[in-house]
Amino acid sequence: MSPEDLQALWLTVKLATSTTIILLIIGLPLSWWLVRSQSIAATAFNVLIALPLVLPPTVIGFYLLLAMGPSGPLGALTSTAGLAPLAFSFPGLVLGSVIYSLPFVVQPLQAGFAAVPQSVLDASSSLGADPKSLLLRVAIPMSQRAVVAAGVLGFAHTVGEFGVVLMIGGNIPGETRVASVQIYDHVEALDYAGAHQLSLILVVFSLVILTLVYRVWGGSVFTQSGSKSA
Amino acid sequence: MAQLSVSEVLPSGVCIGVYGPSGSGKSTFLRAISGLIRVPGTVQINDDVWQDDRRFLAPHQRRAAMVLQSPGLLPHRTVAGNLEFAIRFNRNAKAGLLDSILQDFGLVQLRDQRASTLSGGEQQRVAIARAVAAQPDVLLLDEPLTGLDDEARQALLQVLMQLKRTGITCIFVSHSAYEQALLADHLVIMDAGAIAMSGSSASVFANASPTSALGRELGVVIGDLQVVENADGLAIAARDELRIQMATKAPRGSAVSVRVRADDVSLTEMPEHQSSIMNTIPVTVSGQSIFDETPFSLIELDAFGTRLFARITNDASRKLGLRVGAKCHAQIKAAAITAYL
Amino acid sequence: MRTLLFFLSLFALPNLSAACTVRLAVASNFRATLERLVTAYEDEANTEFQIISGASGTLFSQILRGAPFDFFFSADAEKVERLENRGRTFGASWTYAIGRMSLWTPGRNATAVLESNDPIETISIANPKHAPYGAAAASWIEAHWGSDKSVRTVVGANVAQAFHFVKTGNADAGLVALSQLISEGIPVNEYVTLPDDQYPSIRQKAALLRSPACAASSGFARFLRSTEAAAVIELSGYVTGQESE
């Protein structure tokens, strides 16, 4: 395996880890709010979050690229904040992955939170637990499986991401050239041996993750979310 | 959810029973006090205003602790962990509270057991202990014994009776007149979202109209009876000259209370010895209510200074020539008497 | 027997409307031009041309695995030559077009940028590993800027994406195909077409993949090498090869 392949693999792990951490930080309170709120805003958010399940990744990548451009809202934001543009950068990839993998984290979390009995929440809040404590000390510990499942799915889905990265990444070694893109390059360059090697690693990784998921959760984590891969 | 229209000042430091048929608004009343639901109006506990026209405290800001029919424990925590959860939010908690609560509620053995592994009765015991650990201004109990098997229910009744003696203010919602008779010092009868009656438990049990929500549960609770004999569970308990035979496991010398429903008392002019009914008590008629809308009258009786009620048909009342001051005999089946310690 | 007959007639149906179907597999960058060529080739009725476009590498793999294409228009020479060496073509391949590469600097005069060495922040190119325009761009950059690290290079999967990065403003310059600039109607002062001796030539080869299914197939093959076709191709921003056949 070439140093470039190793670099791509390492970058993939880095991207998936950062994305998963951010997804959990955002996803936990967001899912909690979505489960508890009956507002129209919550319904609208549910629909928005689920969009990446339905839309081709290229569509998301395409609009992200437009948004990150100098005339796009994200581009305007980064330039007024004096930050580097997001396109072709690792932070840009993280942002894209967060949006793209959000439903894979939010949906298992929602299912987990919805299963927390109302009686536990009522009793806990009457004992003095404020909304933050309800989330941190009641809902999350009672939904441990859902939290782990959400993290695993978010990680795995980010590893398998291709379309969005291809659209906004710019194929920069060590910055945006992740394993899936590297495999694509090998195939396009007719370097099938290179493609096989790297693919094998991803296949083994996916098998391990899925076996783990089915072993520990009996596959029930998938009942809440359809999966559509890049 | 039932509509709620309640305006009432209730005593503190006692157990307030809230009784009524399902759908009468009992739970709504309790949840409104706790702040779990928002009903317009004012809630004030002692000097603290929990809600009025201007403000509404969230449930966690109200010093109320709630026990629901479902224990609502944190399944991933141990018994001690569940109590610690309540103590964590209790700003007035002193060191040693956890241990003393475990002790008081007989939970020392279960201390390190995960809540999810406990039986239903044990879970509810922990839930009550946990609510007490919050040291609330008012303890809210919403049908805490419903759905438990009889043994667990009896055991928890004992726990609640002990608790009541500590002088904690509690509001106890239950549709069981039996539980209410045991626990309520002050009884509120709810019907269609409003308070139909409110007063001391004894007066409400005695004075409820037969058409009220209390209905067939109307009766008296006679306390401080002494078990003078007990032969294989059939016991005789006495207070002064009043002697009542009943089924109880209470040993000789112990004190019991009994509940006698008006429907279970019949009247006869002469004592009948050839009867299956074991209790025949000489009484004097001290009051009589005839309700035109029902075929029954309610007769208030004096038995050696203790009040009893009998519900009999209007016809029977006329045939016996009952009027205030008349003497007759009350008959009560031993099997109809509920006794408790 | 009844079902079988029905089954057969189901498959026979398309041939009622078009006696002959010619499938053209084409690299994405040449698709628009090929459509123009098909329109220009006024075929007798009953011939249907189907255009299948994609990345040359993908089409190549599909052809190797027996995809039913009649023609293959690759974005490079290598893939067609590989097929030819393996005996997977019908007759010899030929260079149907030579790509011309332009430096595109939207909002700026490209000639001025090139001559005065105006700073370029991010330049977008196609993937040098597998896209011919990418290889050309990489060698041009190497020759012109050498190890000048002030220019950041971003790589699109193909020249279409390289164009797209510039179009959306995410890169301020790009080394793209002249054919793209023409078909998108980009103002001529925004780009400068680079002399073809400054980068390895982008020879795009085509081949007939199987014996002509009908007269239209061989007719189209002849048409592609006519002056009329050459005019269409050159107007689209390519040079036509002289070294063919």
Residue-wise pLDDT tens digits, C106-124: 999 999 988 887 889 999 9
User: Could you tell me if A85 and A78 are in contact, meaning their C-beta atoms sit under 8 angstroms apart?
Assistant: yes
- Predicted confidence at residue C41, as pLDDT, reads 86
With contact defined as 3+ CB pairs under 8 Å, the chains touching A are B, C
C-alpha–C-alpha distance, residues B299 and B317, integer Å: 9
Which residue in the block uniquely carries the two structure tokens 């940028």? C113
B177, B148 contact by CB (below 8 A): no
The pLDDT tens digits for C143-182 are 888 777 688 899 998 888 899 999 999 999 999 999 999 9
> Are the Cβ atoms of A122 and B64 closer than 8 angstroms?
no
Does the predicted interface ipTM exceed a cut of 0.95?
no
pLDDT of C16 = 44
- Rounded-to-integer distance, Cα A164 and Cα B36, Å: 45
B59 to chain A: which residues are within 8 Å by CB?
Answer: 122, 125-126
Rounded Cα distance, C221 and C219, in Å: 5
Phi, psi angles (nearest 5°) of residue C85: -65, -30
Amino acid at position A74, single letter: L
d(CA B133, CA B100): 9
Question: Residue holding tokens 């609330």?
Answer: B136
d(CA C60, CA C67): 9
Residue A95 to residue B137: CA distance in whole angstroms: 49
Count of C-beta atoms within a 10 Å radius of residue C172: 22
Cβ density class B68-101: b for 16+ within 10 Å, e for less:
bbbbbbbbebbbbebbbbbbbbbeebeeebbeeb
CB B173 within 8 A of CB B142: yes
Alpha carbon C231 to chain centroid distance? Answer: 16
- Please give the structure tokens belonging to residue C195: 């002399």
Query: Is the CB of residue A88 less than 8 Å away from at least one CB of chain C?
Result: yes
Give the ranges where C31-131 is alpha helix by DSSP (H). Answer: 31-40, 56-64, 78-85, 110-116
pLDDT digits (tens, 9 = 90+) for B274-306: 777 788 899 998 877 766 667 777 888 888 888
Do residues B283 and B332 lie in contact, with contact meaning Cβ atoms separated by under 8 Å?
Answer: no
Place of tokens 């970058």: A11
B102 to chain A nearest CA, in Å? Answer: 17
Residue B67: closest C-alpha in chain A? A123
Using the predicted structure, report yes or no on whether residue B242 has a pLDDT greater than 80.
yes
Q: For tokens 């140093």, what's the residue?
A: A3
- Cβ <8 Å between A126 and B58: no
Q: For residues A136 and A32, is the Cβ–Cβ distance under 8 A? A: no
B322: how many CB neighbours lie within 10 A of its CB?
A: 20
Cβ-proximal residues to A86 (8 Å cutoff; 6+ apart), any chain: A68, A74, A75, A78, A92, A95, A168
E strands within chain A? none
Mean pLDDT of A188-208: 89
Q: Strand, coil or helix: what is C72?
A: strand
Contacts of C108 (CB under 8 A, 6+ apart): C118, C190
Q: Which chain A residue has its CA at the smallest distance from B61's CA? A: A128
Q: Which residue has the higher pLDDT, B143 or A185?
A: B143
* Chain C positions touching chain A (beta carbons under 8 Å): 55-58, 60-61, 79, 82, 122, 124, 127, 129-131, 152-157, 161, 164-165, 168-171
Q: Which range, of B75-89, B202-216, C32-46, C123-137, averages the lowest pLDDT?
A: B202-216
pLDDT digits 0-9 by tens, A211-228 = 887 777 665 554 443 333
User: Which chain A residue has its CA at the smallest distance from B134's CA?
Assistant: A127
Determine contact, residues C154/C123, Cβ cutoff 8 Å.
Answer: yes
pTM over 0.80: no
Q: Do C169 and A172 touch (CB under 8 A)?
A: no
C23 - beta bridge partners?
Answer: C50
Query: In this structure, how many other beta carbons lie within 10 angstroms of the beta carbon of residue A118?
Result: 11
Residue stretches of chain C with pLDDT short of 50: 1-17, 243-245
Distance CA B303, CA B282 (A): 6
| pLDDT exceeds 70 at position A124 | yes
Lowest mean pLDDT among A25-39, A115-129, B211-225, B232-246: B211-225
**Which residues from B are below 8 Å from A126, CB to CB?**
34, 36, 59-60, 62, 64-66, 131, 140
Whether the CB of A59 is below 8 Å from some CB of chain C: the reply is no
Q: Do A166 and C161 touch (CB under 8 A)?
A: yes
List chains adjacent to chain C, taking adjacency as at least 3 C-beta pairs closer than 8 Å: A
Q: Answer for the pair A107, A142: CB distance below 8 angstroms, yes or no.
A: no
Give how far A183 is from chain C: nearest CA, Å.
Answer: 12
Is C66 exposed, middle or buried (CB count within 10 Å of its CB: 0-12, 13-18, 19+)?
A: exposed
Residue A230 has pLDDT above 50, yes or no: no
| Cα C109 from Cα C145, distance rounded (Å) | 19
Rounded CA separation C126/A86 (Å): 20
Query: Which tokens belong to C139?
Result: 């060698």
Which chain B residue has the Cα nearest residue A120? B72
The pLDDT, as a whole number, for residue B161 is: 87
The answer to whether A189 contacts C58, with C-beta atoms less than 8 Å apart, is no
Handedness of CA B38, B43, B48, B51 (dihedral sign): positive
To the nearest 10°, report the CA torsion of A54, A55, A61, A63.
-130
Tokens of A138: 């009641």
Write down the pLDDT at residue B208. Answer: 57
Rounded to 5 degrees, φ, ψ at B261 are: -80, 145
- Output C145 or A68, whichever has higher pLDDT: A68
Residue located via tokens 């930080």: A25
Backbone angles phi, psi at C47, to 5 degrees: -120, 130
Task: Evaluate whether A147 touches A112 at the Cβ level (below 8 Å).
Answer: yes
Which residues of A lie inside 8 Å of B (Cβ-Cβ)? 117, 119-131, 133, 137-138, 141-142, 144
Number of Cβ atoms within 10 Å of the Cβ of B166: 10
In tens, the pLDDT along B104-160 reads 999 999 999 999 999 999 999 999 999 999 999 999 999 999 989 988 988 898 899
Pick from B60, B66, B74: which is nearest to A130 by CB? B60
Q: Compute CA distances A202 → A8, A13, A20, A103, A212, whole Å.
A: 12, 11, 18, 22, 15
Q: Mean pLDDT in chain A?
A: 88
How many C-beta atoms surround the C-beta of residue B40 within 10 A?
A: 10
Return the closest-CA partner of residue C174 out of C100, C127, C101, C104. C104
Dist CA B26 CA B324 (whole Å) = 37
User: At A29, which amino acid appears?
Assistant: P
Q: Which residue in the set B60, B67, B70 is minimally distant from A125, CB to CB? A: B60
Which residue in chain A is spatially nearest to C125 when comparing CA positions?
A170
A10-13 LR contacts (CB < 8 Å, sep 24+) = A11/A90, A11/A174, A11/A175, A11/A176, A11/A177, A11/A178, A11/A179, A12/A159, A12/A178, A12/A179, A12/A180, A13/A159
CB contact under 8 A, B66 and A141: no
